[in-house]
Chain A
Amino acid sequence: MSLSRKEIEKVSHLARLQLSDPELDAMTAQLANVVEYMETLSGLNTDDVEPLAHASDISNVLADDILKPSLSREEALANAPKRDAECYRVPAVLGD
């Protein structure tokens, strides 16, 4: 399977990456290589292999419902590119 440049454009949009034309060309070739490499896996016979949803075989790691301190507002907003006294500020959200 190879990836088209159109697919790379779509994926980069979904990931909110702004790629220049040369970058898109490079990504198309490189990602196609990665995907092709992964495809070698489909050559394996997996008839007797259970589907796997997680790499470790640990399960049921559950925490007690007990409050722990949160960050202060100042700490929480510290990295915001734009903020006011209480909130993060972002370009207007349309719709709802």
Chain B
Amino acid sequence: MTHDAFQTIIGLEVHVQLQTQTKLFCRCSTAFGAPPNTQTCPVCIGMPGALPVMNGKAYQLALRTAVALHCEIPRFTKWDRKQYYYPDLPKGYQISQFDLPMSQNGHLAISDPSGVFEPKKVGIIRAHLEDDAGKSMHDEAASKADSRIDLNRTGTPLLEIVSEPDMRSAAEARAYLSELKLLLMYLDVSDCNMQEGSLRVDANINLHLETSHGKVATPIVEVKNMNSFRAVERALSYEAGRQFELWEERHIQLGGPGGHKTTRGWDDEVQVTRPQREKEESSDYRYFPDPDLVPVITETDHVEEVRRNLDELPAAIRKRLESKYKITSYDTDVIVNQGRDFVDFYVTVAESCGDGKRASNWLQQDVLRTLKEAELSIEEFPVSADSLGDLLNRVSAGDLDNSRAKDVFSRMFNEQESVEEAMSALGIVKVDTSALESLCRELVTANPKVVADVQEGKSQAIGALIGQARKQNSNANPAEVKRICLKIIASL
């Protein structure tokens, strides 16, 4: 929601599950969907005397992500106990990071190809590594006042990525999340599956208003329970409007009486936020260093090595595609959003046909549509990038026109034929130039009305000749027919 009377201030906290086989501090499986309470051990269910040991892979995935987010990586980092009681937290504390997180002060650049907002950098306050809690399910069927607890998820590695309150609209918040998710996918650190809880979003939002007494801010609200990016966008739009109405009505300011931070949950069915029960104040978490875990020291050399070994990331790929293949930022966005394999496919097609724009159009229309209809991923696509490039190359060379090429493409996909096989099956042969010229000459002679129209400047009249040419020879290339006919008419 945009409104002249206020500015929306949004910061996001994203929890992302790192792709490891085993949990952060024990070697139980992190696989999703196992029968309840079959993936636990004394460490992750908090038995006395159990000793946690940090998962080296989880640390490396977290480090890779932090480096890609342009974070500073302090040499020394440690883990702390964050104490609170909740039934899904069997240890009675979460192992998190308090004052010395593993990374801080990064940023993520966001932009919108359709120009809804100006490109900007969203600051990353910190990204730190912590363990997840279990799952509680309310047992409604049994109509008992009980909750059921499944501790399979307990101890799964999470990277918490905390942004600065740098976003100014729900659209910017959504763009940040999309870009962050894309980055995490390209980094291969998480599957980012929101349905399975691999990516969770909490938002902090309030408003800045200009009043006759100067600038004021409304109390900060933390919004939870948003289960899709679309839900985030809607919840934040709703919440901004709600806070503005509340401000007009009651004039409660941040930090003033009644102006403390509150938590609200998004109700996706009714499309409203509702107050949630508050957990204990953050000062009551009584953080202290976990004596069971030793610190991790990361030398600059290692950070540099991680940086060097990062594969090319979305922002850089977009820049490369735009400048090298002369396609629009909208087009690059569509291609890059499909993932690294799709980008590689595009590059091969573009290189082999020598026409980035044509390759982009074909990938966005024919290839994406075919993939979607057949429910295939690009890795499973039976038409190789080289053979599609070969086909498009022939279109560029005028061997066949675009609509015939689509027929060929469809045979290449359905019958798994090569370009040659599909073309000969369809009876497509290039009409040689002299045959095409004599055909055009006949048509020009037979259609004096069209010739007269073209001579009067109605060049679209040529379409009638193209239609007749195609009737006589389905392999006649429309663009060629047009070019030759116009040349003949001009020379009359």
Residues of A within 8 A of B (CB): 14, 16, 53-56, 58-68, 70-73, 76-77, 82, 84, 86-96
Contact = CB atoms under 8 A, between A and B. Distances in A.
Interface string B43-60: 001000000011111110
B286 interface: yes
Which of B37, B54, B83, B146 has most chain A Cβ within 10 Å? B37
5 contacts: A66-B21, A73-B37, A76-B37, A89-B149, A92-B145
Given A14-B286, A54-B289, A62-B54, A70 B41 contact: yes
Contact of B148 (A54, A58, A84): A84
B41 A71 contact: yes
A47 to B, nearest CB: 20
B87 interface: yes
B475 interface: no
B224 A71 contact: no
B289 A89 contact: no
B148 A89 contact: yes
B38 interface: yes
B151 A88 contact: yes
A63 B53 contact: yes
A89 B56 contact: no
Which of A53, A59, A73 has most chain B Cβ within 10 Å? A53
B35 interface: yes
B380 interface: no
Interface in B141-197: 145-151
B203 to A, nearest CB: 15
A76 B225 contact: no
A88 B149 contact: yes
Interface in B254-309: 265, 276-277, 280, 284, 286, 289, 291, 293-297
Contacts, number: 134
Contacts of A60: 294-297
A17 B292 CA distance: 24
Contacts of B76: 53
B151 to A, nearest CB: 7
B228 interface: no
Contacts of A14: 83, 280, 284, 286
Contact of A88 (B37, B38, B42, B78): B37
B147 A89 contact: yes
B148 A88 contact: yes
Contacts of A67: 21-22, 27-29
Contacts of A56: 294
A73 B276 CA distance: 33
B21 to A, nearest CB: 5
A60 to B, nearest CB: 5
A67 B26 CA distance: 9
A93 B38 contact: no
A59 B78 CA distance: 9
Contact of A65 (B56, B85, B148, B151): B56
